[in-house]
Amino acid sequence: MTALGLYRPGTSPLHRAPGGLKLLLLLLAGVGVVLLHRPWPVLAALVAVVLCYAVAGLSPRVALAQLRPLAWVGAVTALFQLVVAGWERAVVVVGVLAVLVLLAALVTLTTRTTELVDAVVAGCRPLRPLGVDAERVGLVLALGVRCVPVVVALAGEVRDAQRARGLAASPRAFAVPLIVRSLRHADALGDALAARGVDD
Amino acid sequence: MPVIEAPGVGHRYVDRVVLAGVDVRLEERRVGIVGANGSGKSTFARMLNGLVLPTDGWVSVDGLDTRREGRAVRRRVGFCFTDPDAQIVMPTVAEDVAFGLRRRGLSRAEVRERVDRVLAAHDLAGHADHPAHLLSGGQKQLLALASVLVTEPDVLVMDEPTTLLDLRNAQRVSRVVEALPQQVVLVTHHLDLLDGFDRVLVFDEGRLVLDDVPDVAVPYYRKLMA
């Protein structure tokens, strides 16, 4: 099971804020934070984001769970930057990454997917003359969010089956069934969407 | 009850014939479909909502052709799959139920009212904001069913909805199905679910080999599989 970026019901100001506004602020914050080049402002941004989690009524454990998938990338990046550009640069790069991931997760944790989809659909509507199907973009977003726990669960099942057969060290024995099962799931999901009239 | 017509229906994937010579008219409240794996029963079930189009003959629901009027057919015929995980589209329970009501021109209040009603009817009201993937297998199948029923279809086609469930959850789903006012076409390997059904179709090797009441069709099928 995964605790990544899934909506947690609540009544905080962050939960009540419109989804479109939150997406816009996320975009602005994303642009703003990459302009930071010194460690202290980055650390201040990190503290501010953690405070936002508190305002949303989300525990530090939930915030940490969002960063867990970043652990390896963060460690390798930090080491590389430390060797190549020094500790200040390492703190800035890894700190910015953490802020971005935490902010994006905060939006999905405090916003129903339907609301996010509606906001994206509304945002994409002006692009219709260019051939953009706004509803389709919204659906892809919803399916993306929905597929994270599904693929994580599939990976867990494949890993268990792999261990049961004594193939724990084989990346191929892990990757092949995971890809096959993911594709089969995608196929079945396509049928389900068609049955529910999505393509009509 | 709606009338489903399928005269001279068949289906082939390139050169492989998966279904041939099916000729039925279904107007009973409860219709069961049984057959071994690969017998063509799921292909036939999928034809009823236009998911699979026949390569021979045609299928219609209340006069609506699945090929020409697929959209209208899908609005009338709900479809429930074996694996609920593959049909849950949205991350949370209430959102998934509401998903089927998008583009139906309903107000937010109407959508909420319908969603609340369906969730309550399926013992899922307390799970409205829960992540759908954290539900038990039985609850997921009930959610899948609720997500179809919220659209108020006239016909419900179910393709082995209890195959992945334990006995308790299978009986739970069975009770829900029993109480539905809609016409139900149920594909199943659980033969006890067919008690009280009006009619059972037996498929074997891509052909409809028997079409009778359960008291005749179920023993025939058991013998066929022995």
- CA dihedral in degrees (B90, B91, B96, B101; nearest 10)? -50
Total domains in chain B come to 1
Q: What pLDDT is stored for residue A45 in this prediction?
A: 92
Look at A33 and A200; give whichever has higher pLDDT: A33
Average pLDDT over residues A51-56: 94
- Is residue B6 helix, strand or coil? strand
Closest approach of B51 to chain A, Cα-based (Å): 6
Q: Compute the half-sphere exposure of residue A168: CA atoms within 13 Å on the CB side of its CA.
A: 4
pLDDT at A199 over 70: no
Query: What is the reported pLDDT for A200?
Result: 65
What percent of chain A stands above pLDDT 90? Answer: 32
CA distance to partner chain B, nearest, from residue A160 (Å): 19
Q: Which domain covers residue A53, as residue numbers? A: 13-111
Radius of gyration, CA atoms only, chain A: 20
B15, burial (CB in 10 Å: exposed 0-12, middle 13-18, buried 19+): exposed
Tell me the residues of chain B between 150 and 169 that have a Cβ less than 8 Å away from chain A. Answer: 151
Please report the pLDDT score of residue A1 as a whole number: 44
Identify the pLDDT of residue A146. 80
Residues of A in contact with B102 (CB under 8 A): 135
In angstroms, the separation between the Cα of residue A48 and the nearest Cα of chain B is 28
* pLDDT exceeds 90 at position A8: no
The answer to whether B211 faces chain A, any CB pair under 8 Å, is: no
Residues A106 and A150 in one domain: no
Considering the domain architecture, whether residues A37 and A105 belong to the same structural domain is answered as yes
Contact B103 A189 (CB under 8 A): no
In a domain, A7, yes or no: no
For A87, residues 6+ apart whose C-beta sits below 8 A from its C-beta are none
Q: Taking CB atoms and an 8 Å cutoff, what residues of chain B touch A191?
A: 46, 51, 81, 86
Statement: residue A5 has pLDDT above 60: no
Q: Is residue B200 a contact partner of residue B31, using CB atoms and an 8 Å limit?
A: yes
Q: What is the pLDDT at residue A40?
A: 92
Cα–Cα distance measured from residue B23 to residue B26, given in angstroms and rounded to the nearest whole number: 10
Q: Would the CB atoms of B98 and A114 count as touching at under 8 Å?
A: yes
CATH of the domain at B118: 3.40.50.300
pLDDT exceeds cutoff 90 at A2: no
A197, B88: Cβ pair inside 8 Å? Answer: no
Query: Helix or strand or coil: residue A12?
Result: coil
- Cβ of residue B75 closer than 8 Å to a chain A Cβ: yes
Per-residue DSSP letter, A70: G
Q: What is the H or E stretch that residue B159 is in? A: strand B155-159
Tokens of residue A65, six digits: 């769970």
**A20 close to B (CB below 8 A):** no
The residue with greater pLDDT, A7 or B54, is B54
Find out whether B59 and B4 touch, Cβ atoms under 8 Å: yes
d(CA B205, CA B17): 9
Per-residue pLDDT 10s for chain B (226 aa) are 889 999 999 999 888 899 999 999 999 999 999 999 999 999 999 999 999 999 999 999 999 999 999 989 999 999 999 888 888 888 889 989 998 887 778 888 999 999 999 999 888 989 988 888 888 888 899 999 999 999 999 999 999 998 888 888 888 888 888 899 999 999 999 999 999 999 999 999 999 999 999 999 999 999 999 8
Q: Following DSSP, what letter does each residue of B40-69 receive, concatenated?
A: SHHHHHHHTTTSS--SBS--EETTEETTTS
Domain ends where: A52, A76, A111? A111
Is residue A1 situated within a structural domain?
no
| A118 in any annotated domain | no
pTM of this prediction?
0.78
- Condensed to tens digits (0 to 9), the pLDDT of residues A86-125 reads 899 999 999 999 999 999 999 989 998 888 888 888 888 8
Q: Is there a single domain that holds both residue A142 and residue A81?
A: no
Q: How far apart are CA B28 and CA A154, in angstroms?
A: 40
Same domain, A98 and A165: no
For residue A128, the Cα-to-chain-centroid distance in whole angstroms is 26
**What number is the ipTM of this complex?**
0.77
In chain A, the residue whose alpha carbon lies closest to the alpha carbon of B153 is: A196
Res B24: pLDDT:
96
- For residue A6, count other CB atoms closer than 10 A to its CB: 22
Tokens of B42: 């799921």
Looking at chain A, list the stretches that DSSP marks H as alpha helix, in order from N- to C-terminal side: 13-16, 19-33, 39-55, 60-67, 71-85, 87-110, 113-124, 134-164, 171-195
- Residue bearing the bigger pLDDT, A4 or A82: A82
User: Which residues form the domain of B77?
Assistant: 4-225
Please identify, among A111, A144, A178, the residue that sits at the C-terminal boundary of a domain: A111
Instruction: Name the token pair of B90.
Output: 């949205």
Q: Which of A145, A194, A200 sits opposite B91 (nearest CB)?
A: A145
Q: Identify whether residues A88 and A137 lie together within a single domain.
A: no
Q: Does A200 touch chain B (CB under 8 A)?
A: yes
Does A22 share its domain with A58?
Answer: yes
